[in-house]
Structure 1
Amino acid sequence: MSGREFFTARTVAEALAGFRPAHRTPVEDVPLDAALHRVPASEVVAPSLLPGFPRSTVDGYAVRAADTYGASEGLPSYLDLLGAVTMGAAPTVAVRAGGCVAMPTGGVLPDGADAVVMVEYTAETMPGTVEITRPVAPGGGMVRADEDVAAGAALVPAGRPLRAPDLGLLAAAGVTTVAVHARPRVAIVSTGDEVVPPDTVELRPGQVRDATASALAGLVADAGGEPVFAGIVSDEPGALKNRLSEVLPDADLVVVSAGSSVGARDETAGAVAAIGDVWCHGLAIKPGKPTLLADCGGIPLVGLPGNPLSALVVFGQLGVPLLWRLAGCESPPPPPTTRARLSRNLASATGRLDIVQVTVRDGVAEPLFGPSALLSVLVRADGYVVIPEPATGLDAGMEVEVVLYR
Structure 2
Amino acid sequence: MPGREFFQTQSVGQALAGFRPRRRTGPETVRREDALGRVPARAVRSGVPLPGFARSTVDGYAVRAADTYGAGDGLPAYLDVVGALRMGTAADVEVRSGGAVQIPTGAAVPGSADAVVMIEHTQVTMPGVIEVTRPVAVGDGVVRPDEDVAVGNELVPAGRPLRAQDLGLLAAAGITRLVVLRRPRVAIISTGDEVVAPDTECVSPGQVRDATASALAALVLQAGGEPASYGIVPDDLELLTKTLTTAVAECDLVVVSAGSSVGARDETTAAVEALGAPGVYCHGLAIKPGKPTLLAECADVPVIGLPGNPLSALVVFRMVGLPVLRLVGGITTVPPEPSTAATMARPVASAAGRLDVVQVSVRDGVATPLFGHSALLSLLTSADGYVVIPEPATGLDAGTSVTVTMYR
How far 1:104 sits from its partner (Å)? 0.9
Aligned pairs (5 A) from 1:234-313: 234-276=234-276, 277-313=279-315
CA contact (8 A) 1:304 1:311 kept: yes
How far does the alpha carbon of each residue in 1:114-136 deviate from its partner, in whole angstroms, 9 at most, with x for none?
Answer: 11111111111111111111111
TM-score, scaled to structure 2: 0.97
TM norm structure 1:
0.97
In structure 1, the residue matched to 2:146 is 146
| In 2, Cα distance between equivalents of 1:300 and 1:123 | 71
What is the DSSP-based 3-state SS (H/G/I as helix, E as strand, rest coil) of the residue aligned with 1:174?
coil
Identify the match of residue 349 of structure 2 among 342, 347, 350.
347
Say whether 1:34 aligns with 2:50: no
Q: Which amino acid aligns with 1:111?
A: G
Matched, 1:112 2:112: yes
- The equivalent of 1:125 in structure 2 is 125
Aligned sequence identity (%):
66
Identify which range, 127-136 or 299-308, moves more after superposition.
127-136
Inter-partner Cα distance in structure 1 for 2:76 and 2:323: 61
Instruction: Provide the secondary structure at the position in 1 that maps to 2:237.
Output: coil
- Quick one: which amino acid aligns to residue 337 of structure 1? S
Shift of 1:8: 4.2
Which whole-Å CA distance do the structure 2 matches of 1:351 and 1:158 have between them?
36
For residues 5-404 of structure 1, the aligned pairs below 5 Å read 6-276=6-276, 277-404=279-406
Q: Could you tell me which amino acid in structure 1 is paired with residue 82 of structure 2?
A: L
Decide whether the 8 Å contact of 2:237 with 2:270 is kept in 1: no
Counterpart AA for 2:141: G
Per-residue deviation at 1:7? 3.2
Distance 1:67 1:279 in 2: 74
Compute the displacement of 1:14 (Å).
1.2
Structure 2 residue matching 1:371: 3-state secondary structure: coil
**Cα deviation code 1:371-393 (max 9, x no counterpart):** 10110000000000110111000
Aligned residues between the structures: 402
Question: What's the CA shift string for 1:16-72, capped at 9, x where partnerless?
Answer: 222122221121111111111111000111111111111111111111111111111
SS at match of 1:238: helix
Instruction: Describe the superposition over 1:115-159 as per-residue Cα deviations: whole angstroms up to 9, x where unpaired.
Output: 111111111111111111111111111111111111111111110
Structure 2: distance between partners of 1:121 and 1:326 = 57
2-structure distance, mates of 1:7, 1:66 = 78
Q: CA deviation at 1:331?
A: 2.8
- Paired with 1:73 and 1:338, the residues of 2 have a C-alpha distance of 49
The amino acid across from 1:377 in the alignment is L
The separation in 1 between residues aligned to 2:135 and 2:289, in whole angstroms, is 65
Q: Judge conservation of contact 1:6–1:262 (CA < 8 Å) in 2.
A: no
Cα displacement (A) at 1:305: 0.2
Please report how far the alpha carbon of residue 237 of structure 1 lies from its aligned counterpart in structure 2 after TM superposition.
2.5
CA shift digits 1:78-126 (9 cap, x unpaired): 1111111111111221111111111111111102111111111111111
* Structure 1 residues 237 and 250: alpha-carbon distance in aligned structure 2, compared to 1, 3 A threshold: closer
The Cα shift of 1:269 comes to 0.9
Q: Judge conservation of contact 1:8–1:279 (CA < 8 Å) in 2.
A: no
| CA displacement, residues 334-356 of structure 1 (integer Å, 9 cap, x when unaligned) | 11000111111011011100000
Runs of 4+ with >3 A deviation? 5-8
SS of the equivalent of 1:78 reads strand
Alignment-mate amino acid for residue 208 of structure 1: V
Distance (Å, rounded) in 2 between the aligned partners of 1:176 and 1:38: 14
Distance 1:323 1:137 in 2: 53
Structure 1: gaps of 5 or more residues: none
Say if 1:40 and 1:159, in contact at 8 Å, map to a contact too: yes
Is the Cα–Cα contact under 8 Å of residues 7 and 282 in structure 1 kept in the other structure? yes
CA contact (8 A) 1:340 1:400 kept: yes
Cα shift at 1:318: 1.1
In structure 2, how many angstroms separate the alpha carbons of the residues matched to 1:377 and 1:74? Answer: 71
